[in-house]
Amino acid sequence: MNSSITEESDPKEFDFNTAKVFLMPDGIICIDIKDDVDILLPDATEQHEAVRHFAGGKKRPVLIRTGDGGTIDKESQEFYRSERVGEPALAEAIIAKSLAHKLIINFLIKFDRPGRPIRMFIKEEEAVGWLNEERTKYNQEHSK
């Protein structure tokens, strides 16, 4: 891991080789994938640990901005589909930039059924709006 994620540290952003992970002012966790990177399992794992850090033991919405180009290896794809990764995410909105990313994301949504609300978007405003709707629904369901 490039950045040490510990209880004592409280960074505003983790800047890894493949992505930046940070908490947006509205409480949405953002994973900003860098351009032309190849994501391997250690990269996916460090991103997940950063998300868990910012979630702070709560469920939070997650916005993923894909970069231009790049790949995700099979092990990382399996990891991203796992229940463990979905644990801190109450919903995930993925902004896809390339056709390849759109195909992978559509496959994930339609066939893998990751066990959490997940949608693909082209425009960030729509993705954030949907995440806020999902957060409201989640809060209403869990405040009873």
CATH topology of domain 13-141: Transcription Regulator spoIIAA (3.30.750)
Instruction: Count the residues in the chain.
Output: 144
Distance CA 118, CA 11 (A): 27
Mean pLDDT value across the chain:
86
pLDDT tens track for 26-43: 999 999 999 999 999 999
Q: What is the mean pLDDT of residues 98-117?
A: 73
Q: Which of 64-68, 78-82, 138-142 is least confident? A: 78-82
pLDDT at 3 over 50: no
The burial class, CB within 10 Å (0-12 / 13-18 / 19+), for 61 is buried
Which two structure tokens, joined as six digits, stand for 61? 């919405």
pLDDT band at 83 (very low <50, low <70, confident <90, very high): low
CB 92 within 8 A of CB 116: yes
Q: What is the mean pLDDT of residues 61-69?
A: 93
> Which residue blocks in the chain are alpha helix, DSSP H?
41-55, 74-81, 83-86, 99-107, 124-141
Q: What's the pLDDT score for residue 9? A: 58
Domain boundaries, the chain: 13-141
Q: What's the pLDDT score for residue 101? A: 72
DSSP letter assigned to residue 3 = S
pLDDT band at 4 (very low <50, low <70, confident <90, very high): very low
CB 89 within 8 A of CB 136: no
Between 82 and 129, residue with greater pLDDT: 129
- Identify the CA nearest to 118 among candidates 102, 126, 106: 106
Q: What's the pLDDT score for residue 114? A: 62
